[in-house]
Amino acid sequence: MTLRLGDTAPDFEQDSSIGKLHFYDWAGDSWVVLFSHPADFTPVCTTELGLTAKLKPEFDKRNVKAIALSVDPAEQHRKWISDIEDTQKTVVGFPIIADQDMKVSKMYDMIHPEQSATATVRSLFIIDPKKKVRLIITYPMSTGRNFDEVLRVIDALQLTDGYTVATPGNWKDGDDVIIPMTVQDPEELKKKYPKGFTAARPYLRVTPQPNK
């Protein structure tokens, strides 16, 4: 199964480090960052899960829940969490799915046979409260993720859901944003963008971030 942007994220029940987990029930009305790992007790994964744990206050501010996955068993996840907490000096406050039968990995297309027939690649999905897939990033097994980018994209998605704007390259929260070409009526422009805008070209109109 291949997931694409805008698809409904598949629901599932699977064992995890916190026991049996029903994904939709667990997610509730939150945004979700679902990300996979090739295996437990591996160095890159250990740093990533530690970093995710440390970002909990930032996720909480954005109404985001994090959940990890690997194909190792739940008991091994729990042992690994002790290592993560010890070496990364943090508390892992999110579950790790124990996808031993690779059910979830296959649902979310996390097994890439040319990389490994059993271990997941580093896939990451941002899923909104309506359970729609809003972002997919896939890294090779050897490359750790940039979680600053994950937070940046969540900020952009939440901003553009609330306002008729787009975000330029390298945008960060607080930077100017772009007025989409779909907005052309002068009265609508005044109403939607009361801070005004500058136009380098008719198609390139920049306005201050509306919620700042």
Contacts 24+ apart (CB under 8 A), 113-120: 115/140, 115/141, 116/38, 116/141, 118/71, 119/38, 119/39, 119/71, 120/36, 120/37, 120/38, 120/69, 120/70, 120/71
Within 13 A of 138's CA, how many CA atoms are on the CB side? 11
Is 42 known to be catalytic?
A: no
Number of Cβ within a 10 Å radius of residue 124: 21
Catalytic residue selected from 21, 45, 124, 179:
45
- Beta strands at 64-70 and 31-36: parallel, antiparallel or unpaired: parallel
Q: Catalytic amino acids?
A: 45
